[in-house]
Structure 1
Amino acid sequence: MGSGKSTVGTVLARALGLDRLDADELFESAHGPIPDYFARHGEPAFRQAEEDVIGQAISRAEPCVLSLGGGAVLSALTRSRLAGSHVVYLTVDEAVALRRVGGGEGRPVLAGDPGRTWRRILSEREALYREVSDWTVDTTDRSADELAQTIIRLVREAETVSPTPGAVHP
């Protein structure tokens, strides 16, 4: 949370001339606001519905840039579906992340002590982020344009070695 997935994804898609999809936006189009769904149905139901939405986005025939929610990697099926795509793990300094998420407002998983919760969530998920990612890019103190250019360079370098069709997932 707060790494800039949506912002960088938007700039990256524009630079590549691809559609940009955001898993949270797709979820909300299908099911309504995430906090409301989370409160009514609980996290397990949310994660299942999120997995379905992401599966539909990944199965698109056209390449795209797909920004995933931070908890998407909790699904083994989603992790396996990401294989064969270019996946970028965006990292960020904790203080910057918390500033970007506005103290956790509208993010049910950050309720209570946002800093402690952010650290706990990162600790629980970091190995999964690294498992699915091809690259790790630190977004702290870098502009979205600079980050998009860095990701494009990484993907192009990889494509010259071993072309891989599919989506780019920041």
Structure 2
Amino acid sequence: MSSGTAGQPPGRRIVLVGPMGSGKSTVGATLAGRLGIPRLDADELFASLHGPIPEYFARNGEPAFRQAEEDVIGDVLSRAEPCVLSLGGGAVLGARTRSRLAHDSHVVYLTVDEQTALERLDGGTGRPVLAGNPGRNWRRILAERHGLYREVSQWTVDTTGRTTEELAEHIARLVSEAESSSPNTGVTRP
């Protein structure tokens, strides 16, 4: 553990983006606990307002889902207090969400290899977008979104073969170093 990162809240929110199975929710929970700030999960917030995502998606269609998802995320991103926010894998598809992420957020793109992702996702069980051929569908979705994840993020962190504790420590250190080097701006995009 590096000194100064454990329990020291960041000045800005930390947002985790990446594909299904990359560890956004589990790493987010560990990181938030480590830093002593709230952990929010966009999918959980959505479900608390609108009901289960698969049902909402089936009932209202993808465009309505994406609009409602942008509204939920926008509400969190409009708040000033630091938190760790885990986004759903497709949240970066929204132009408004991508634009909002460029302000007052440390954004981390979590990557993972396909085999590990599918293991974490129990082979795609309960994930309609992976039905039929989970590996092929996961690769296709990642290919469609990879550039957007990179566009919005400051850092890319591979979660393959690493514990959530190691990942939380690494991300806390990245954020602490970024805030120490430019405390007034907090966020710079490559």
Q: What band does the TM-score fall into relative to the shorter chain? A: over 0.9
What runs of 5+ residues in structure 1 fail to find an aligned partner?
Answer: none
Report if aligned partners of 2:178, 2:186 keep a CA contact under 8 Å in 1.
no
Residues 1:57 and 2:59 are matched in the alignment: no
1:146 matched residue in structure 2: 166
Report if aligned partners of 1:38, 1:108 keep a CA contact under 8 Å in 2.
no
1:70 matched residue in structure 2: 89
Q: Do the aligned partners of residues 166 and 63 (structure 1) sit closer, same or farther apart at CA in structure 2, a change above 3 Å counting?
A: farther
> Percent identity between the aligned chains?
75
Aligned length: 167
Aligned mate of 1:31, from 50, 57, 61: 50
Q: By how many angstroms is 1:166 displaced?
A: 8.0
Residues 1:105 and 2:125 are matched in the alignment: yes
Residues 1:92 and 2:112 are matched in the alignment: yes
What runs of 5+ residues in structure 2 fail to find an aligned partner?
Answer: 1-19
Q: Whose Rg is larger?
A: 2
Report if aligned partners of 2:41, 2:86 keep a CA contact under 8 Å in 1.
yes
Which deviates more, 144-153 or 96-105?
96-105
Task: Point out 4+ residue stretches in structure 1 off by more than 3 angstroms.
Answer: 164-167
**TM-score, length basis structure 2:** 0.84
Aligned CA-pair RMSD: 1.5
**TM-score, length basis structure 1:** 0.94
Q: Quick one: distance in 1 between partners of 2:126 and 2:47?
A: 13
2:30 matched residue in structure 1: 11
Q: Quick one: distance in 2 between partners of 1:160 and 1:123?
A: 34
